[in-house]
């Protein structure tokens, strides 16, 4: 198939890990006889340096026209002055809003070879395979804000339509997995959570084959650490999802391993590793490219419907995590290029 993929390498280690992911997509295209065309654009700090704008109109227009967008990371100390007029992160928030990507997917698995890096004991980590679905465009992050000298407020608002679309996405995803949805809210205290819960209950009737469970966010924070293998798909609102997914990321052993996909109603999507620009290691060629490479696998799966190709990339990564080489963040001493080449070799052997 033909696909037009926009890459936004961004700042810090973003360009290094994005290049590795593009190399893997190129290899996939060669093996499976696809025609992937890549078009690179600036976003974040590098875009501010070039044009004063963290999301230049040409970058946004290219993303809107693309079949999928692969992003590295944005930000860094050079642009982090809190009083600055423009900040790199504004480019990313504006891009998510403009693309209408309301469902943020973060799969979490704990590779057996890396279990020792996790803060949990081995037996708890067996069979951890969770897909978080976080609402990305509503809630307290987007509500009205007020500030006086002695008070402040952040409005948390959700419409039924906003809840419904992300919850339906979670149920659909559960059908391709173990058919178990855990909805996380704070319905004992918050009105938005009561709306959330009743919407989930109504939608659940359309998915009688999927088991539904409701958890309060405070107990969920504990359960993720005590019984992580109980969960399949976990769906929640924006703020709770932000916190729980970072907590869950710690279970995997390194931020450098985990991918994400942000999806809207169309087929396109925004794919990025969950880690930031890692300024402390930028430019050294040592960043772990696995999170970016697995994000490319999600791109193949969700925007291009190339499931076989996505599985091939995931199997290649799995093989490298089992046998090495490993980058520094997971206890090895391999550089980005060495890990990339090992993934390419594993892909070659399996394909």
Interface positions, 273-292, toward Mg ion (CB under 5 A):
276
Identify the active-site residue in 102, 186, 231, 232: 186
Site string for ligand ATP, 17-36 (x = CB under 6 A): x-------------------
Kindly state the tokens that stand for 260: 């994400």
Active site residue 207: no
Distance CA 274, CA 86 (A): 22
Active site residue 102: no
The number of C-alpha atoms within 13 Å of 165 and in the hemisphere containing its C-beta is: 17
DSSP string, 91-133: HHHHHHHHHT--EEEEEEE--GGGGGGSSS-HHHHTT-EEEEE
Active site residue 121: no
Among 137, 277, 295, 338, binds ligand ATP (CB under 6 A): 277
Active site residue 141: yes
Site string for ligand ATP, 114-153 (x = CB under 6 A): ----------------------------------------
Greatest extent of the chain over all pairs of C-alpha atoms, in Å: 64
Distance CA 244, CA 249 (A): 9
Minimum separation from the CB atom of position 271 to Mg ion (A): 17
Cis? peptide before 325, omega within 30° of 0: yes
Nearer to ligand ATP by C-beta: 13 or 110? 13
Using CB under 5 A, count the residues that bind Mg ion: 1
Kindly state the tokens that stand for 45: 């700090």
75 binds, among ligand ATP, Mg ion, none (CB under 5 to 8 A by kind): ligand ATP
Q: Which residues bind ligand ATP (CB under 6 A)?
A: 13, 17, 73, 75, 255-256, 275-278, 280-281, 287-288, 291, 329
């Amino acid at each position: 198939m033909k696909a037009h993929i926009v890459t936004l390498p961004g700042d810090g280690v973003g360009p290094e890990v994005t290049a590795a992911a593009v190399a893997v997509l190129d290899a996939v295209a060669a093996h499976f006889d696809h025609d992937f065309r890549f078009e690179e654009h600036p976003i974040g700090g590098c875009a501010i340096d070039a044009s004063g704008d963290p999301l230049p109109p040409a970058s946004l227009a290219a993303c809107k026209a693309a079949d999928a967008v692969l992003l590295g990371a944005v930000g860094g100390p050079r642009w982090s002055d809190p009083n600055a007029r423009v900040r790199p992160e504004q480019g990313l928030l504006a891009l998510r809003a403009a693309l209408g990507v309301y469902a943020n997917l973060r799969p979490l698995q704990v590779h057996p070879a890396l279990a020792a890096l996790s803060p949990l004991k081995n037996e708890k980590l067996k069979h951890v395979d969770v897909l978080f679905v976080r609402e990305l465009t509503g809630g307290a992050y987007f509500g009205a804000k007020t500030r006086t000298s002695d008070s402040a407020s952040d409005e948390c608002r959700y419409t039924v339509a906003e809840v419904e679309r992300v919850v339906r996405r979670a149920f659909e995803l559960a059908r391709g997995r173990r058919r178990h949805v855990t909805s996380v809210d704070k319905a004992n205290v918050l009105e938005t959570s009561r709306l959330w819960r009743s919407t989930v209950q109504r939608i659940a009737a359309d998915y009688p084959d999927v088991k539904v469970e409701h958890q309060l966010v405070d107990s969920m924070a504990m359960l993720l650490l005590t019984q992580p293998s109980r969960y399949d798909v976990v769906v929640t609102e924006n703020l709770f999802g932000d916190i729980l997914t970072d907590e869950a990321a710690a279970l995997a052993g390194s931020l450098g391993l985990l991918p994400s996909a942000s999806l809207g109603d169309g087929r396109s999507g925004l794919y990025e590793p969950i880690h930031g620009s890692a300024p402390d290691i930028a430019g050294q060629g040592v960043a772990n490219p696995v999170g970016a490479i697995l994000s490319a696998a999600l791109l193949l799966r969700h925007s291009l419907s190339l499931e076989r190709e996505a599985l091939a990339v995931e199997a290649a990564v799995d093989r490298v995590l089992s046998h090495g080489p490993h980058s520094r963040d997971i206890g090895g001493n391999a550089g980005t290029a060495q890990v990339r080449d090992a993934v390419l070799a594993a892909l070659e052997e399996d394909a």
